[in-house]
Amino acid sequence: MIFKKEMQKYLQTLQVKEGKKVSLKKFDTDFENKLFTKQEGEEILQHGLEQLALLQDKLFAENKHSVLIVLQAMDAAGKDGVIKHVMKGFNPQGVKVASFKAPSHLELNHDYFWRHYLELPGKGEIGIFNRSHYENVLVTRVHPEYILNEKIPGIKKLKDIDSDFWEERFKQINRFEKNLSENGTLILKFFLHLSKDEQKKRFLDRIEKPEKNWKFSMADANERQHWDKYMKAYEEMLSATSTEHAPWYILPADDKWFTRICLGTVVYLEFEKLKLKYPKVSEEQLAEIQKAKAALLAEED
């Protein structure tokens, strides 16, 4: 894949280092000094998709690792577009996409990881979480009354949901991801950092264009009223849960095509670190293969 060293250096600045306190004001929602034009970026992305397809083939053949890609963002930040444009390079047979809405009654009768465990990728597979277990420290942080629906022992009223509660939940998430990592899952987490002004433009676009009306939701518009609370919740979550084995990347999301280039590049570079290889065939297997070849060639036409 064709990359400039400057692009790789830039992406390193988007990764949240473990233990570092995050201030989203220090991260751009749009990067003005892009290293290539939109047309050049599309060519790079296309070439990258071809390389990702090859790496996925090796991932499936080797059958040792799985990959989990987590997407979190405010509404209209482009999560669906990323899945559509970047992940189209993968063979759909080896990809699982899960979108998590408000938990059902059945799901609330289990711990909050339960429904996510059910959607985890197996060996050789790629899983994409469109929203994820992090909703349990984001939406519930802004609306703590939702926590009461989880029927957690010792949590009877809103006052019980204090700072210690959230710290413990961050630790639970880190343990969950550590376990996945130690058992062969590559975890890549992306926060699509959208500006409030750009979200407004995209909401208005959905309202003004009939073919996009179906995308608009009053619930999304209502959540916009809690923007500052969400930004604070994201900052605390990113600070507490970006680890060496499961890092967060804060990608500028005001320019969709550039967001896709950034995400696709990170995925490709992290895939390469796995040093995936096609399995070697044993001498016994090679002998069997040659026997099969001989038998096929001996068949009458």
CATH number at residue 102: 3.40.50.300
pLDDT at 250 over 80: yes
- Give which of 94, 3, 93 is closest to 47, Cα–Cα: 3
Mean pLDDT of 202-222: 91
Q: How many domains does the chain have?
A: 1
Using pLDDT thresholds of 50, 70 and 90, give the confidence band for residue 49: confident
**C-alpha to C-alpha distance for 258 and 266, rounded to whole angstroms:** 12
Mean pLDDT of 143-161: 96
**C-alpha to C-alpha distance for 35 and 37, rounded to whole angstroms:** 7
CA distances from 222 to 149, 205, 218, 225, 229 (A): 21, 17, 6, 6, 13
Q: Answer for the pair 155, 148: CB distance below 8 angstroms, yes or no.
A: yes
Q: Answer for the pair 60, 94: CB distance below 8 angstroms, yes or no.
A: yes
Domain that includes residue 164, residue range: 5-298
pLDDT at 1 over 50: no
Task: For the chain, give the longest Cα–Cα distance.
Answer: 81
Residues in the chain: 301
pLDDT at 213 over 90: yes
Taking only the tens place, the pLDDT of each residue in 94-132 is 999 999 999 999 999 999 999 999 999 999 999 999 999
- Ranking 36-40, 110-114, 206-210, 228-232 by mean pLDDT, the lowest is 36-40
